[in-house]
Structure 1
């Protein structure tokens, strides 16, 4: 099978780019022909890729509402897909399907849209809204991240079986989890420093912990446009001495391995990669119960949920877990067990079954047709 991912910017450092690289590696490892086509950004991927995965960047400017740019992007994608002759075009983030809309019917390929946000989240983009309508009408299949979001798509667009929920895989790590008792008194949070991730709520919750923090340290890993604002907020709240802004790092596995508790304060999510990664490292977690993702990931008893946007609720949950090592140990065991549901090979098999329903046979590791 020849599989072509259309990914906005392969050099991006977010969860969408990471999970795309992981899925591409999984398919390439099973003897499939895999390419990533990136209309924007640099001609390289930030996250590790198998040598057999081809990455091509077209070096285009983002459309940003300009019709001329939209036309150039669409035409460039069409010319590449025409030469590449893929069996399946996997459109990463449904919004990219708009660029394929003028010509997708000219190709013999199947078009599958991979939605990375829940249906209630539009990020203020009418373009995204239009793309979802177009995908519901004309794509061969839509993959969302949770069954709750799949139900929302079915109800809104009345498209039934063409929408399927497939979880994201947990990326492969060279580092194995350490024993919880060996770890430092670190609470870890990972994500882009933007409004979505709610780090302002987390800092206020951390301040409200007061003496409950004792000698615990909060490490925030990530970068983003709210960096300066959040550092200023930490100073204003008087918590700078117990909060470390790590910045962006490729050594995130070391951060997970050293921590004793994971916290996610997001206002909204699709299926949060960082929460899945925390499960792999056996981290007990506390997360906001935003519309999709945390409830599904933590359903096995590996963490607690609190109301989104509420520093007091988050602070109360943190205080209880910080003071109960036996509960953290119980949740850690549940997290390690839970992580097995998200191994790349298991997730790849779900995609393979979807492709088979479309009439496209994937390959197995011996190069024979997969069943």
Structure 2
């Protein structure tokens, strides 16, 4: 029997949460389907992709400051390029990731009469899209066959205008190459790590300030990721005179070495869609502290059982919880064991199976 073909649409395949999920998911789904990933802007894929997966780029560069009319013209041209690729590839279903790609996916699917599944990756109340696209989303999303989100809170947001039976909660998968690197025998260092883009959203400033205020001893804070706040954070570390204790690691393709050797992980975000790094850290058995931000952490951490949840932007509580963990090896061990157990359901084959069932419903 001829294998069905899936066409994914995503803006980029650089380092990032949505990009990691698409890479992990397609690496699993290629066992059952032919796959083409239609990428809006050319880039070198950051995560490993099975060589059987076809990748097609639509446009060389992204114009970040177009006028409104230029922007609309760009989007129409891009959407038409995606449509040509998908028609040429004879895709049986279109799967969009992130808002703009989702809107393209639904429009193209309607035009060429195939089903579409779309997937939001961040809490929609905090996304960076303009009011124009928020309005377009309200009109277009109800026309999809299914909308995949990660948390109940995000589901509640979308069911205000998308039929409830179309909205499906599917968690993000753990990347298989990462899972394979877990080594619980690794000797642990007194390291606190934070993995994520250095941006306002991720709010590493909260963590830097809290870390500066506690009795640190020989503990080090490792910030893994790049972002537009990097220079400001470096200056802050300088001002707080904690240069000896804070290391800026940058983007890392394989984070497993840091997950294996660190003891504590902190997610200081103001908001999330579903925090991949938190699941990864818990899967590797780190003692985790996360802000109870919208959305995700409260569905992963049971406060005081397998990690700590703290209020968003609450520096004092973060200082207290960091000090508690640093000084309590037994609690670190308890959190570690329970965190590993509670994140087993996020393994890629299990999540990919749920996606496969959903995709198969429309083929």
- Native 8 Å contact 1:147 1:164 kept in 2: no
Give the alignment partner of residue 273 of structure 1, picking from 248, 254, 276.
276
3-state DSSP of counterpart to 1:24: helix
Report the Cα distance in structure 1 between the residues aligned to 2:52 and 2:230, rounded to whole angstroms. 36
After the TM superposition, which of the residue ranges 12-21 and 122-131 deviates more from structure 2? Answer: 122-131
CA distance in 2: counterparts of 1:19 and 1:234, whole angstroms: 32
Q: Distance in 1 between matches of 2:261 and 2:38?
A: 36
Deviation at 1:82, TM superposition (A): 1.2
Q: Distance in 2 between matches of 1:186 and 1:205?
A: 15
Q: 8 Å contact 1:202–1:265 — kept in the other structure?
A: yes
What corresponds to 2:235 in structure 1?
Answer: 232
Aligned equivalent of 1:186, options 191, 194, 204: 191
User: 1:350–1:127: structure 2 CA closer, same or farther, 3 Å change rule?
Assistant: farther
In structure 2, distance between residues paired with 1:78 and 1:158: 24
Contact 2:29/2:356, CA 8 A, preserved across alignment:
no
Deviation by residue 1:69-114 (Cα, 9 ceiling, x = unmatched): 1221111011111111212211011322333455431223211111
The answer for the alignment partner of 1:92 in structure 2 is 97
Structure 2 SS opposite 1:250: coil
Residue matched to 1:164? 168
- Are 2:202 and 2:267, in contact at CA under 8 Å, matched by a contact in 1? yes
Which residue is equivalent to 2:80? Answer: 75
Say whether the 8 Å CA contact 2:302–2:308 is kept in structure 1.
no
What displacement does 1:321 show?
1.0
Asked if the contact 1:16/1:116 (under 8 Å) is kept, the reply is yes
Question: Which deviates more from structure 2 when the two are superposed, residues 277-286 or residues 291-300?
Answer: 291-300
> 1:57 corresponds to which residue?
57
- The Cα of 1:21 is off from its aligned counterpart by 0.1
Following superposition of structure 1 onto structure 2, how do residues 200-349 of structure 1 map, counting pairs within 5 Å? 200-209=205-214, 211=215, 213-299=216-302, 301-349=305-353
Shift of 1:187: 0.5
Q: How many residues align?
A: 352
What is the TM-score of this pair, normalised by structure 2?
A: 0.92
Moved more, 124-133 or 348-357: 124-133
1:176 to 177, 182, 186: 182
- Summarize the alignment of residues 96-115 of structure 1 with structure 2, pairs less than 5 Å apart: 96-100=101-105, 102-115=107-120
Pairwise CA RMSD: 1.7
Aligned partner of residue 195 in structure 1, secondary structure: coil
Contact preservation (8 Å) 1:3, 1:90: yes
The 1:100–1:34 alpha-carbon spacing in structure 2 relative to 1, beyond 3 Å, is closer
**Which stretch shows the higher mean deviation, 80-89 or 188-197?**
80-89
When normalised by structure 1's length, the TM-score is 0.90
Note closer, same or farther for the CA distance 1:100–1:3 as it changes in structure 2 (3 Å cut).
closer
1:196 aligns with one of 173, 187, 201: 201
Contact 1:168 1:273 in 2 (8 A): yes
Structure 1 counterpart SS, 2:124: coil
Tell me what 2:33 maps to: 32
Indicate which of 346, 350, 363 corresponds to 2:354: 350
CA contact (8 A) 2:209 2:315 kept: yes
Deviations 1:280-317 (A, max 9, x none): 21111000000111111213832110011121121111
Helix, strand or coil for the counterpart of 1:225? coil
Aligned partner (choices 133, 137, 142) of residue 138 of structure 2: 133
Residue 50 of structure 2 corresponds to residue 45 of structure 1: no
Distance in 1, matches of 2:122 and 2:243, equals 32
Partner Cα distance (2:259, 2:328) in 1: 20
